[in-house]
Amino acid sequence: MSRAEGGSRLLRSELSLVFGRRRNITLLVGLATVPLLLGIVLFVTQDSALAGQGPGFVGRVTGNGLFLVVSSLVMCLPFLLPLTIGIASGDAIAGEAQAGTLRYLLAVPVSRTRVLVVKAVAALAFAGAAVAAIALMALLSGAVLFGLDDVTLLSGSTVPLGEGVLRIAGVAVYVGLSLTGLVAVGLFFSTLTEVPVGAMAATVVVAIVSAVLDTLPQLAAIHPGLLTHHWLDFAEFLRLEVDWGVLGEGLAVQGAWVAIFASLAWSRFTTADVTS
Amino acid sequence: MTETQPSSPATPPPSSPVAPASATALATPSARRRWAVPAVVATAVAGAFVAPPLLAAAGDASLPEVTPLELLAEVAEAEPMALTGTAVYTARLGLPEIPFAEIAGADPIALLAGSSTIRVWTDGEERSRAALLGPASEYSVVRDGPEAWTYSSEEDAVVHYALSAEDEARYEALADQLRAGPSPEVAGELPTPEEAARLVLDRAEEHSTVSLDAQTTVAGRDAYQLVVTPRSTETLVARVVVAVDAETSTPLRVQVWSTQDEATPALDVGFTDVTFAAPEDAVLEFTAPASATVEEVVVPLPEVTEMERTEGAAKGELPEGVTVAGEGWESVTTLTGLDVAALVAGDPAALASVPGSERTLGSESAQELIGEFLPEDGEGGHPGLSLDGAALYEQLTTEVPEGRLLSSSLLSLLVTEDGRVLVGAVPAETLRGMA
């Protein structure tokens, strides 16, 4: 068995492990019910006095089902998505360590670096699946409940449905990519402990602390570097002229977090004394 | 955890010996060296984020020497350029705490404090768009000759400003003469560096000394810095610094310094990014979205005689109920017969009690500049104001024996109990002394 073959086999088994686990499937289903619930609530109340109101893009949903994608992502971004990422990435190494299976995994003739890469890819895939579950379910329920229409941008211009769908897809992709930093943080925590719950909680705490720090005006100097600071920049896709510089900056910050925490995770994992 | 892990054949006993893989990993001499990798990565990342701004700042602009007056003339003569840019506006007016967190989206009221990002597009002629960016919202002001629109994404509301049909015909006829003149007044206008600079520089020489500061770089472009210092020491304005693009003579940044804060400018609006190219037509066009509520506002085009009167206003012929004491920067405007309470409550009928047009008051002084920066100040209470005007008024002003006082680092405003409003770029004590 060649090394590359071993790696891809490992990846396949890891992916089927992550996506086959009942807890993870439940998580995805749970996330997918958020847009469904939101859509139903808005559908039922659309003739009441409260119609057309709500934070973010909720007020626009009844007019155009496409906005259910954006408002669902906005609702899940502060807590539910970080929680999902925390569970998936925090469990990656620590879960195997706790179950006592890590040393058997390392006995496979594949380098530790490769094992870590496989774990990271699987966690990223799960993060992507979480965003996709929300976005697709929102698109589906939005289309069924409210219908799809030309998209009115934040600037007041209206773009045709095709371009609107592309822009909303851009929003979902950006949200997915802005979670990569958190995946790296979770993976690092996962290499530190044999208690997966600890790594999961620490990952969620990082996201929440980052969001809290982002609201303190006294810390304005460090805001641009915070993990969560650029998360809402997906709104750029809904402006008249998409400023790719703004989006690039947000992704560059995620890249920086990924680089630092992935290298930390690598150092830790390749030097750690694995006993279980 | 009782869940089974398919990647493992069986669950081993807890006291299992060290796995062979880890033994080899520890045996490698590079084990400690591996921890150097994150350090190197972190350093490289920090370098990548810190270095570019430092390099940009280090660029020493060695522009040909000019005198302040030459530069002033160049700015005055320069053709307005078509441009697309992003400007950052920061206000440190020292106003009382306002619950800005209550403002859900992009709203011009946010310009009273903190930093805002504004995108600007203009064709250098009649058409322009300025957009105040919120986290997931936008407030746009679009102008097209005699028409203008504002659009708030948060409220999905359009306000359309236009001339009446007769006025529009007259506008077309007078277009050439009027082009430099009044375009419709928009409530909740957005400040751009160009607009702000024009207001300062137009009459810079009358009551101020003009000098040059060190050359600088704004938005990556070499720029001269004009410093306009009021001759008067009675005003709150210490100086106004305008950075002028060396190539196009377009103002790129305006900083207004208060006498009360030497460290940072009280108002600062400048481009962070600018390109001198005509924007696409789609950007400069505006059609109200189908879902939006549209409010129509007909703006009267001033009669020619009225326009002359407006020009005369600067020479002392003021609308009824308005008096100006003092000159230039230290001038204080007094308005009488105002129903402040109704204005604050946002009663449109009360706007009729405002003597003359707001814009004709003391047009030569800092007041107009401040009017530009504070589109909806304490006395405004525009119908479009989304916050509760009365609550805002309560929060911004403080009780003094003479009435209610709004005191900021650049402007003071005193509303007396007998219905007079005193406003000027002077310390609050001066106003209280005059009341």
pLDDT tens digits along B191-206: 777 777 777 776 677 7
Phi, psi of B244 (to 5 degrees): -115, 125
If 0-12 CB within 10 Å is exposed, 13-18 middle and 19+ buried, where does residue A190 land?
A: buried
pLDDT score, position A55: 67
Query: Would you give the DSSP letter of residue A45?
Result: T
Are B22 and A270 a contacting pair at CB < 8 A?
no
Q: Higher-confidence residue: A219 or B61?
A: A219
Beta carbons of A20 and B6 less than 8 Å apart: yes
Q: Give Cβ neighbours of residue A101 (< 8 Å, ≥ 6 apart).
A: B5, B7, B8, B11, B12
* Dmax (CA) of chain B: 99
The count of other CB atoms within 10 Å of the CB of residue B255 is 20
Cβ partners under 8 Å of residue B402, min gap 6: B414, B416, B417, B432, B435
3-state SS, residue B36: helix
Q: Determine the pLDDT at residue B95.
A: 79
Chain A residues close to B281, C-beta within 8 Å: none
- Nearest CB among A56, A63, A256 relative to B45 is that of A256
- The amino acid sitting at B200 is V
Are B21 and A103 inside 8 Å of each other by CB? yes
B300 has a pLDDT exceeding 80: no
Cβ-proximal residues to A208 (8 Å cutoff; 6+ apart), any chain:
A79, A82
pLDDT(A209) > 90: yes
The pLDDT, as a whole number, for residue B340 is: 67
pLDDT of amino acid B137: 86
Instruction: Kindly tell me the number of DSSP H helices and DSSP E strands found in chain A.
Output: 11, 2
Lowest mean pLDDT among A14-18, B39-43, B379-383: B379-383
Encoding tokens for residue A150? 């030309």
Q: Do B131 and A99 touch (CB under 8 A)?
A: no
Q: What is the DSSP string of B127-177?
A: EEEEEEEETTEEEEEEEETTEEEEEETTTTEEEEEE--HHHHHHHHHHHHH
Q: Suggest the residue from A91, A155, A239, A261 to mutate for an interface test with chain B (most B CBs closer than 10 A).
A: A155
Closest CA to A77 of A89, A65, A67, A69: A69
CA diameter of chain A: 67
pTM: 0.81
Partner-chain residue, chosen from B42, B104, B283, that has the shortest CB–CB distance to A260: B42
Q: CB–CB of A152 and B289 under 8 A?
A: yes
Place B312 in a pLDDT band, splitting at 50, 70 and 90.
very low
Identify the three-state secondary structure at position B224.
strand
- What distances in angstroms separate CA A92 from CA A85, A184, A189, B14, one per listed residue? 11, 11, 10, 20
Predicted local confidence at residue B421, as pLDDT: 85
User: How confident is the model at residue A130, as a pLDDT?
Assistant: 97
* Cα gap A192→A185, rounded to integer Å: 11
A56·B136 Cβ contact <8 A: yes
Any bridge partners for residue B147, and if so which?
A: B144
Mean of the pLDDT values across residues A242-271? Answer: 94
Q: Contact A276/A103 with Cβ under 8 angstroms?
A: yes
Q: Which amino acid is at B264?
A: T
Handedness of CA A201, A203, A209, A212 (dihedral sign): negative
**Residue (of B63, B167, B183, B82) closest to B125 by Cα position:** B82
> How far is the alpha carbon of A31 from chain B, nearest alpha carbon, in Å?
22
Query: Alpha-carbon distance B63 to B224, whole Å?
Result: 8
Residue A175 confidence (pLDDT): 96
CB contact under 8 A, B5 and A17: yes
Mean pLDDT computed over B174-203: 66
Q: For B28, which residue in chain A has the nearest alpha carbon?
A: A271
Pair A189, A85: CB distance under 8 Å: no
Whether the per-residue pLDDT at B209 is higher than 60: the answer is yes
Q: Supply the pLDDT for residue A94.
A: 92
Is there a contact between B290 and A101 if contact means CB atoms under 8 Å apart?
no
Residue of B nearest to A95 (CA): B1
Q: Residue B14: its pLDDT value, please?
A: 43
Tell me what the pLDDT averaged over chain B comes to: 74
Query: In B, which residues are within 8 Å of A95 by CB distance?
Result: 1, 5
In chain B, list all ranges with CATH 2.50.20.10: 68-284
Residue B423 has pLDDT above 90, yes or no: no
Question: What's the CA gap between B435 and B432, in Å, rounded?
Answer: 5
Within 8 A of B280 by CB-CB distance, chain A residues are 241
* Chain A residues 101-160 within an 8 A CB cutoff of chain B: 101-107, 112, 152, 154-158
Q: Is the pLDDT of residue B360 over 80?
A: no
- Determine the residue among A13, A154, A218, A223 to mutate to test chain B binding: the one whose Cβ has the most chain B Cβ atoms within 10 Å: A154
Whole-angstrom Cα distance, residue B388 to residue B124? 37
Chain A residues whose CB is inside 8 A of the B38 CB are: 260, 263-264, 266-267
Cα B48 to chain centroid, rounded? 31
The conformation of residue B426, written as its DSSP 8-state character, comes to S
pLDDT (tens digit per residue) in B15-54: 444 444 444 444 455 677 888 889 999 999 988 888 777 7
| B147 pLDDT more than 50 | yes
Which residues in chain B are closer than 8 Å to A151, comparing Cβ atoms? none
Please provide the size of chain A in residues.
Answer: 276
The fourth-level CATH superfamily of domain B68-284 is Lipoprotein localisation LolA/LolB/LppX (2.50.20.10)
Interatomic CA distance for residues A18 and A207, integer angstroms: 22
Name the residue of chain B whose CA is nearest to A262's CA: B38
The model's confidence at residue B381, banded by pLDDT at 50, 70 and 90, is very low
Across the range B242-250, mean pLDDT stands at 90
Beta-carbon separation of A101 and B133 below 8 A: no
Q: Which of B198-202, B234-238, B269-273 is predicted least confidently?
A: B198-202
Per-residue exposure over B57-91, b if at least 16 CB sit within 10 Å of its own CB, e if not: eeeeeeeeebebeebbeebeeeeebbbbbbbbbbb
- Angstrom distance (rounded) from CA A276 to CA A128: 30
Residue of chain A whose Cα is closest to the Cα of B37: A263
**Nearest chain A Cα distance for residue B138, angstroms:** 6
Contact indicator for A70, A6 with CB cutoff of 8 Å: no
Question: Which of chain A's residues have a Cβ under 8 Å away from the Cβ of B278?
Answer: none
ipTM associated with this complex = 0.84
- What is the mean predicted confidence (pLDDT) over B364-381? 43
HSE-CB of B11 using CA atoms within 13 angstroms: 11
Handedness of CA A123, A125, A130, A131 (dihedral sign): positive
Nearest CA in chain B to A96: B5
pLDDT reported for residue B18? 40
| A26 at B interface, C-beta within 8 A | no
- Smallest CA–CA distance, residue A82 to chain B, in Å, is 20
Sheet containing strand B114-122, strands side by side: B208-218, B221-230, B237-245, B251-258, B267-275, B83-91, B114-122, B127-134, B137-144, B147-152, B157-162, B293-298
State whether A155 and B20 contact (CB < 8 Å).
Answer: no
The minimal CB distance from B6 to the residues A13, A95, A259 is found for A13
- pLDDT at position A205 over 50: yes
| pLDDT value of position B352 | 47
CB contact under 8 A, A101 and B20: no
